[in-house]
């Protein structure tokens, strides 16, 4: 079985922010991944953390994070 294409729906400065956002997606039953390049926690200040979802779930995931106040609403 092939994996669906993914898209980055949000970037955060810190890993804990991305993990917090991922919790809202988990509560909404949206499969997701958190991608962090922090060299094992040693360089947390220089790289962002990204939240990824399958492309078909992107709009719903963005809406969930906007409702949670994790993304700007565009207003």
**Domains of the chain, each with CATH number or no CATH:** 6-67 (3.30.70)
Percent of the chain topping pLDDT 90:
68
- What separation in angstroms does the CA of 49 have from each of 9, 56, 74? 11, 21, 21
In 3D, which of 74, 64, 71 has the Cα closest to residue 25?
64
Question: What is the model's pLDDT at position 40?
Answer: 61
Q: What is the mean pLDDT of residues 45-64?
A: 91
CA 42/CA 40 separation, integer angstroms: 6
Residues in CB range of 27: below 8 A, 6 or more apart: none
pTM (two decimals)? 0.84
- Is residue 60 within 8 A of residue 7, CB to CB? The reply is no
């Amino acid at each position: 079985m092939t994996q669906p294409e993914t898209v980055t729906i949000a970037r955060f400065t810190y890993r804990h922010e991305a993990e917090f956002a991922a919790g809202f997606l988990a509560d909404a039953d949206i499969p997701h991944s958190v991608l962090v390049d922090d060299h094992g926690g040693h360089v947390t200040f220089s790289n962002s953390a990204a939240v990824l979802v399958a492309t078909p779930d992107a709009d719903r995931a963005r809406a969930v994070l906007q409702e949670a106040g994790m993304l700007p609403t565009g207003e």
